[in-house]
A and B are shown apart, each in its own frame.
Chain A
Amino acid sequence: MAVAEIAGPAPETESRHAPAGSMLVLECVAKRFGRVQALSDISLNIKSGAVHCLLGENGAGKSTLCNLVFGVHQPDAGTMLFDGKPHAPQGPADALRAGIAMVHQHFSLVPDMTVTENVLLGRTRGLLDRKAWAARIQTLSDEYGLAVDPSALVGDLSVGERQRIEIIKCMIENPRLIILDEPTAVLLPEEIAKLMSVCRSLAARGCAIVLVTHKLAEIKQVADTVTVLRQGRTVATSAEPAKDIQRLVSAMVQRDLASLDVALAGTLGVSEDAAEADDGIREPSLPRGQEAMQLDALTVRDASGVLRVDEVTLTVDRGEIVGVAGVEGNGQTEIGLVLAGLLKPTSGRVFVGGTEATSKSPREITAMGVGIVPEDRHALACISSMSLAENMCLNRLDSFCRFGLLLRGQMEREAAALMTQFDVRADGPRTPFSSLSGGNQQKAVLARELTTDRLLFLLAAQPTRGLDVGAVEAVYKSIGKTCEAGVGVLLISSELDELIAVAHRIVVLYRGRIIGERRALPKFRHDIGMLMAGQQP
Chain B
Amino acid sequence: MSANAISPAGPSMWQSLIRNEIAVAFAAVLGALIVGLLLIVMIGVPLSDAIGAFLDGAVGSGYAIAASINRAAVFAAVGLGFIFANQANLTNVGGEGQIAMGGIAAAAVALKTPVADLPVGLAFMVPMLAAVIAGAVWGGICGVLKVKVGTNEVISSLLLTFIGIWLLYWSVQSTDLLRQPMTNTATLPETLEIPDATKLPALLDVAGPLNIGLVFVVFLAVIIQLALHQGVLGLRLRAAGLNELASRRAGIPYDRYVVLAMAVAGGFGGFAGAIMLQGDQYVLKDGFTSGYGFDGLVVGLLARGSSIGVVLGALFFGFLRSGGINMEMTAQVPSAVVVIIQGLVIIAIAASGYWLSRNEGKR
Q: Which residues of A contact B (CB under 8 A)?
A: 340-342, 361-363, 366, 372, 374, 379-383, 385-386, 390, 394-395, 397-398, 400-401, 404-406
Bound-state CA distance A398–B233 (Å) is: 10
Most buried by A among B226, B235, B253: B235
Is there contact, CB below 8 Å, between A381 and B249? yes
Q: Which residue from chain B places its CB closest to the CB of A364 in the assembled complex?
A: B251
Task: Quote the shortest CB–CB distance from A383 to chain B (angstroms).
Answer: 5
Contact B246–A405 (Cβ < 8 Å): no
Contact of A395 with B232 in the complex, beta carbons under 8 Å = no
The DSSP consensus for interface residues of chain B is helix
- Is the CB–CB distance between A405 and B230 below 8 Å? yes
C-alpha gap A341/B245 in the complex (Å): 10
Q: Are B250 and A362 in contact (CB under 8 A)?
A: yes
Q: Are the CB atoms of A342 and B232 closer together than 8 Å?
A: no
Contacts of A406 on B, CB cut-off 8 Å? Answer: 230-232, 234-235
Contact B231 A394 (CB under 8 A): no
Which residue of chain B is the closest to A366 with respect to CB atoms? B251
Asked if B236 lies at the interface with its beta carbon under 8 angstroms from chain A, I say yes
Q: Which residues of chain A are near B329, meaning CB under 8 Å?
A: none
Is B243 touching A379 in the complex (CB atoms < 8 A)?
yes
Taking the closest CB of chain B, its distance from the CB of A378, in whole angstroms, is 8
Contact call A362/B248, Cβ cutoff below 8 A: yes
Question: Which chain A residues border B230 with CB–CB below 8 Å?
Answer: 405-406
In the complex, A395 Cα to B236 Cα: how many Å?
A: 10
CA distance A363 to B236 in the complex (A): 14
* Given A380-B246, A383-B242, A401-B232, 5 more pairs with CB closer than 8 A: A341-B249, A362-B249, A363-B253, A383-B243, A406-B234
B238 at the interface (CB under 8 A from A): yes
A144 vs B245: C-alpha distance when bound (angstroms): 45
Docked complex: B214-268 residues within 8 A CB-CB of A:
226-227, 230-236, 238-239, 242-243, 245-253
What's the Cα separation between A32 and B242 when bound, in Å?
31
CB atoms of B232 and A405 under 8 A apart: yes
CB nearest neighbor in A for B240: A383
Contact A383:B239 (CB < 8 A) given known A342-B245, A372-B249:
yes
Smallest CB-CB separation from B236: which chain A residue? A397
CB of A386 within 8 A of CB of B238, answer yes
Given A383-B239, A386-B239: A397 and B232 within 8 A (CB)? yes
B245 contact set on A, CB distance < 8 A: 342, 379-380
Q: Are B248 and A342 in contact (CB under 8 A)?
A: yes
A390 touches B235 (CB 8 A): yes
Min CB distance, B260 to chain A, in Å? 14
Q: Can you name the residue of chain B whose Cβ is closest to the Cβ of A406?
A: B232
Question: Are B247 and A404 in contact, with the CB atoms below 8 A?
Answer: no
A400 to B235, CA, bound (A): 12
Set B226, B243, B251: member contacting A405, Cβ < 8 A: B226
Bound state CA distance, A342 and B252, in angstroms?
Answer: 12
Contact check, A394 vs B248: say whether CB atoms are below 8 A apart: no
Interface residues in B, total, Cβ within 8 A: 22
* Min distance, Cβ A192 to any Cβ of chain B, angstroms: 32
**What is the CB-to-nearest-CB distance from A474 to chain B, in angstroms, rounded to a whole number?**
22
Inter-chain CA distance A363–B252, complex, in Å, is 7
Residues of the A chain whose Cβ atoms lie less than 8 Å from the Cβ of B233: 404
**Looking at B231, B239, B245, B246, which has the most chain A CB atoms within 10 Å of its CB?**
B246
| Contacting residues, chain B, for A382 (C-beta < 8 A) | 243, 246
Identify which of B227, B250, B253 contacts A394 (C-beta below 8 A).
B250
Report chain A residues within 8 Å CB of B243: 379, 382-383
Shortest CB–CB separation between residue A380 and chain B, in angstroms? 5
Closest to A367 in B: B251
How far apart are the CA atoms of A366 and B247 in the complex, in Å?
A: 13
Are the C-beta atoms of B232 and A383 separated by less than 8 Å?
Answer: no
**Interface mask (B76-99 → A, CB under 8 Å = 1, otherwise 0):** 000000000000000000000000
Measured CA separation A160–B26 after assembly (Å)? 60
Contact of A386 among B242, B248, B249, B252 (CB under 8 A): B242
Q: Whole-angstrom distance between the alpha carbons of A361 and B227 in the complex?
A: 26
Complex Cα distance, B245 from A362, in Å, reads: 10
In angstroms, Cα B252 to Cα A379, docked, is: 15
Contact B238 A394 (CB under 8 A): no
A381 touches B246 (CB 8 A): yes
Shortest Cβ gap from B263 to chain A (Å): 18
Give the residues in chain B near A394, CB-CB below 8 Å. Answer: 235, 239, 246-247, 250, 252
Which A residues are in CB contact (< 8 Å) with B226? 405
List residues of chain B with CB within 8 A of the CB of A383. Answer: 239, 242-243, 246-247
Across the interface, which residues of B come within 8 angstroms of A366, CB to CB? Answer: 251
Asked if B250 and A395 make an inter-chain contact with CB atoms under 8 angstroms apart, the answer reads yes
Complex Cα gap A57–B236 (Å): 36
Check B242–A404 contact: CB distance below 8 A: no
Out of B227, B251, B253, name the residue touching A395 (CB < 8 Å).
B251
Ranked 5 nearest A-B pairs via Cβ: A363-B251, A395-B250, A394-B250, A401-B232, A383-B243
Closest to B234 in A: A406
For the complex formed, measure the closest distance between the CB of A395 and the CB atoms of chain B, giving whole angstroms.
4
Sampled A-B contacts (15; CB under 8 Å): A340-B249, A363-B253, A380-B246, A380-B249, A383-B239, A383-B243, A386-B242, A390-B239, A394-B235, A394-B252, A398-B232, A404-B231, A404-B232, A405-B231, A406-B234
- In the complex, chain A residues whose CB is within 8 Å of the CB of B235: 386, 390, 394, 397, 406
| B264: min CB distance to chain A, Å | 14
Give chain B residues whose Cβ lies under 8 Å from the Cβ of A404. 227, 231-233
**Which of the listed residues A361, A374, A401, A404 has the most CB atoms from chain B within 10 Å of its own CB?**
A404
Report how far A231 CA is from B115 CA in the complex, Å: 75
- Minimum C-beta distance from B249 to chain A (A): 5
Nearest CB on A from B341, distance (A): 36
In the bound complex, CA of A386 to CA of B238 (Å): 9
Expressed in whole angstroms, the Cα–Cα distance for A397 and B227 within the complex equals 14
In the complex, what residues of B have CB within 8 A of residue A361's CB?
251, 253
CA distance A400 to B247 in the complex (A): 17
Considering the chains assembled together, what is the distance between the CA atoms of A161 and B246 in angstroms?
A: 34
Q: Inside 8 A of A397's CB, which chain B residues have their CB? A: 232, 235-236
- Chain B positions within 8 Å of A341 at CB level: 248-249
Complex contact B236–A385 (CB within 8 A): no
Task: Compute how far the CA of A405 lies from the CA of B234 in the bound complex, rounded to whole angstroms.
Answer: 9
A248–B246 CA distance with the chains assembled, in angstroms: 39
In the assembled complex, how far is the CB of residue A373 from the closest CB belonging to chain B, in whole angstroms? 11
Instruction: Report the separation of the CA atoms of residues A99 and B239 in the bound assembly, to the nearest whole angstrom.
Output: 48
Which of B236, B247, B250 gathers most chain A CB within 10 Å? B250
**Which residues of chain A are within 8 angstroms of B249 by Cβ–Cβ distance?**
340-342, 362, 372, 374, 380-381, 395
Q: Distance in Å from the Cβ of B67 to the closest Cβ of chain A?
A: 36
Bound form: Cα–Cα A398–B252 in Å: 11
- Closest approach, in angstroms, between the C-beta of A337 and any C-beta of chain B? 9
B213: shortest Cβ distance to chain A, in Å?
25
Interface residues of B in 124-157 (CB under 8 A from A): none
CA distance A383 to B246 in the complex (A): 7
A112 and B247 alpha carbons, distance in the complex (Å): 35
Instruction: Please give the distance in Å from A369's CB to the nearest CB on chain B.
Output: 14
A316 to B85, CA, bound (A): 43
Cα distance, A165 to B7, chains bound together (Å): 60
Contact of B232 among A340, A372, A380, A400 (CB under 8 A): A400
Residues on A with C-beta less than 8 A from B239 are: 383, 386, 390, 394
Q: Which residues of B contact A390 (CB under 8 A)?
A: 235, 239
Interface centre among B232, B236, B238 (most CB of A within 10 A): B232
Closest chain B residue, CB of each to CB of A374? B249
Q: Which A residues are in CB contact (< 8 Å) with B253?
A: 361, 363
Closest to B238 in A: A386
Assembled-state Cα–Cα distance A380/B252 (Å): 13
Q: How far is the CB of B137 from chain A (nearest CB, A)?
A: 24
A381: B residues at CB distance < 8 A: 246, 249
Instruction: Identify the closest chain A residue to B230 (Cβ).
Output: A405
Q: Mark B5-45, 1 if CB is under 8 A from A, else 0.
A: 00000000000000000000000000000000000000000
Which residue of B is nearest A401, CB measured?
B232
How near does chain A come to B357, taking the closest CB pair, in angstroms?
14
A363 to B253, CA, bound (A): 8
Give A390 to B247 CA distance when docked, in angstroms.
12
